[in-house]
Amino acid sequence: MKRKEFIITLFFISSLLIIYGLFPVKNIFQQLIIMLAFFSVVPIVFNKIFLKKSLASAGLAVGDWKQGLIWSGACAVATGVLFFVAIYFFSFLKHYTIPSAIIHNYKNFIFYEFILVCPIIFIYDLFFRGFIMLILESKARYWAILIQLLIFLILIAATKSFVWELVPYLIGALSAGVIVYKSRSIFYSTALQFIIMIILDASVVRLAK
């Protein structure tokens, strides 16, 4: 990527994050729609029209499936260790909550995971890993993995939106970055995070009964 193009892209990303942070939302579904617009639709349009790149450049491709599977397995172990630390040293499960409607209703649980959780994971992966990280990689190389995580943390801090329910996404951000960096695809990281979220939420449901 040329220097001028890179600078304009950084300005675009910064502006998008600032506008997103200032945009008012009233509920979780409005939040999801805004995220879809700012973190998916707009970046894809920018990537296609201004950068003139394919969707594959943003991780929307099969990529290297062998690397995807290998690193998904390795990151699954690493993520498990991080969750162990969060649970046993920071009492994560005491703070992490799920909607009461999904605790005693299996259909609501499936609806919640597939209609809300999965899209959020995919959107985060597309924007922070597929768009931001793979663009920064041209200049920062593997450091882009940490930079995208830092940008995510800054966004949460700047918007004062930290809740314990975001912790799994924060834990997943680092491993997802590694998987996407190695495989050139967001599908493997999204699948792994989704599986982990289902296991986590199912465990919380079991404890709540």
| pLDDT (0 to 100) of residue 159 | 86
Q: Cα(138)–Cα(7) distance, rounded to whole angstroms?
A: 12
Q: Cα(111)–Cα(119) distance, rounded to whole angstroms?
A: 12
| pLDDT (0 to 100) of residue 163 | 87
* DSSP-assigned letters across all residues of 54-78: -GGGGT-S---HHHHHHHHHHHHHH
C-beta separation of 60 from 131 below 8 A: no
| pLDDT (0 to 100) of residue 94 | 87
CA angle 194, 177, 57 (to 5 degrees): 100
pLDDT at 15 over 80: yes
pLDDT at 1 over 80: no
| pLDDT (0 to 100) of residue 162 | 85
| pLDDT (0 to 100) of residue 26 | 78
Q: Which amino acid is at 38?
A: F
Q: Cα(114)–Cα(118) distance, rounded to whole angstroms?
A: 5
Q: Cα(177)–Cα(189) distance, rounded to whole angstroms?
A: 8
Find, among 168, 164, 161, the residue nearest to 20 by Cα. 161
Tens of pLDDT, residues 81-108: 999 999 888 889 889 989 999 998 999 9
Q: What is the DSSP letter of 24?
A: -
Tens of pLDDT, residues 145-166: 999 999 999 999 888 888 889 9
Two structure tokens written together for 145:
């993995």
Two structure tokens written together for 53:
């790149």
Q: What is the model's pTM?
A: 0.93
Two structure tokens written together for 115:
């209609």
In this structure, the chain runs to a length of 209
Residue 209 — pLDDT band, cuts 50, 70, 90? Answer: low
Tens of pLDDT, residues 27-38: 888 889 999 999
CA angle 134, 135, 138 (to 5 degrees): 95
User: Helix (H, G, I), strand (E, B), or coil: what is residue 178?
Assistant: helix
Q: Cα(145)–Cα(120) distance, rounded to whole angstroms?
A: 19
